Structure 1
Amino acid sequence: MTARLALYWAPELSDPLHDAASAWLGRDAETGADRQQPEISGLDLREAAADPRRYGFHATLKPPFRLANGYAAAADAARALAAGTAPFRLPSLYVADLDGFLALRETEPCPALQAFADSCVTELDAHRAPATTDEIRRRRPERLSAAERQHLERWGYPYVFGKWRFHLTLSRRLSGPEMALLKPQAEAYFASVAAQPRIVRELCLFTQATADAPFLIAERLPLGGGA
């Protein structure tokens, strides 16, 4: 099977960040509809945002994995995890250069967010099919630290727990001149919506039907078991 499931955080539909980021990427992961992107001076945003557009606007909690026991069983486990997690405050966000990628990041540490991501990794792992040799190879284990290689072997992904960094990707990896051009325009574009503190009330299940398909939001699971 090539279908994959991912556990992501994405802004609520009523959050202005959902609309602004969907337009920036050129696609709404809730509906799958294309969106008209803002005009960016000196750079083709359609090309620069092509990679994150396929994944949809999100922050990774548990990265995409092939299903070991089918969608229903994994969704039930995610539903139980969400029900047992209390909503929490997410710090305001800012536009960052994250290793050459443009991304929104939190302005201060958030222990509840780290704990939520850790739980997503561990609690859903029984539903993850083991990584194949090719999947491991694509992570370039020879370039990883010893801890990252251990995470890759155990959890199928190197950047979990202490190696995890909350981020909402806005571009492909940019050159220095491209970053200098795009970052201030992104800061201006996201200024009003990124700065708003918000409450994390949902765990989003994103699905990918085939290896080449875009990710879509399949379910939004309320934290704390709320409606």
Structure 2
Amino acid sequence: MRYALYYSPAEDHPLTAAASRWLGRDAFSDESFATPDVRGLACGDVHQLTADPRRYGFHATLKAPFELAPNKTEAELVAALAAFAAATPAFTIPNVILGQLGRFFAIVPDRIYPELQDFAARVVEDFEPFRAPLSEADIARRKPGNLPPTQRAYLDRWGYPYVMDEFRFHMTLTGQVPPEQAEAMKAELSQRFAPFIQQPLSIDGLALFVEPERGAPFTVHRWCALAPAADSRKTAP
């Protein structure tokens, strides 16, 4: 069993529904959907290009998948999640866009937002006591010899190289899209996710995902709403 702490919109959020139907699976209900038609791409290609994000479920990684530390229990992890959410105010990313990370397409912020970076760092730090050390095999999968020094140090310290100043919020929509298919994929995603891009995105919840066994689909075990957003308006005397 592995656990992960991800940002996900709520189960009933329109973005959750749109992304689940695009990927072919809803991580909340584990319901499957037919592979969508994409102009210019074969159905089999679309199914393959969404395979990896389909298994993980629609999300943005905050605390990457980990096995539970021997001195911790799932009940303690769930309780810590609820306490963290209750003490952490929701906030908004002012603008998200359709972006590319290498050959991957994802919904990303239009720029780096310090509040989002700080939130992600807090999740990494606060839930670190629940993470068991990586196995040698897990470390090897990250190809540590190919990582820059900072990312290698983060892998050793936090079990994941893309944290702290290396963190980039992204909600993955595809696997690696070959260059010759990228134009058709971009056109489809731009149209399909038009209601959600060039728009703000509320970070109003934190989800605990679980992977029952290695290679199995991740599902949402618990979604906790964050505290009401802090009101920065000054009250008149």
Pairwise same-fold verdict (TM > 0.5): yes
- What is the alpha-carbon distance in structure 2 between the residues aligned to residue 28 and residue 194 of structure 1? 20
Structure 1 match to 2:158: 155
2:196 and 2:226 map into 1 onto residues whose CA distance is: 23
Contact 2:90 2:228 in 1 (8 A): no
Q: How many residues align?
A: 224
Which protein is bigger by CA-based radius of gyration?
2
2:9·2:204 contact (CA, 8 Å) conserved in 1? no
CA distance in 1, matches of 2:51, 2:202: 29
SS in 2 for 1:40: coil
CA distance in 2, matches of 1:38, 1:67: 36
Q: Is the 8 A contact 1:207 1:217 kept in 2?
A: yes
Unaligned runs of 5+ in 2: 230-237
For 1:78 and 1:99, how far apart are their aligned partners in 2?
A: 32
Aligned to 1:48: 49
Aligned-residue offset at 1:215: 0.4
**TM-score normalised per structure 2:** 0.90
CA shift, 1:153, in A, is 0.5
Q: Runs of 4+ in structure 1 displaced over 6 angstroms?
A: none
Deviation at 1:39, TM superposition (A): 0.8
Q: State the percentage of identical aligned residues.
A: 39
Between stretches 25-34 and 71-80, larger displacement belongs to: 71-80
Provide the C-alpha distance between the structure 1 equivalents of 2:95 and 2:39, rounded to a whole number of angstroms: 26
Structure 1: gaps of 5 or more residues: none
Q: Corresponding residue for 1:129?
A: 132
Q: SS at the partner of 2:22?
A: helix
Structure 1 Cα separation of the partners of residues 108 and 149 of structure 2: 26
> In angstroms, what is the RMSD of aligned CA positions?
1.5
Equivalent residues of 2:66, 2:132 under 8 A apart? yes
Q: Secondary structure at the match of 2:174?
A: strand
TM-score for the superposition, normalised by structure 1? 0.94
- Return the alpha-carbon distance in structure 2 between the equivalents of residues 9 and 91 of structure 1: 16
Matched, 1:26 2:27: no
CA distance, structure 2, for counterparts of residue 183 and residue 91 of structure 1:
22
Residue of 34, 39, 43 corresponding to 1:36: 34
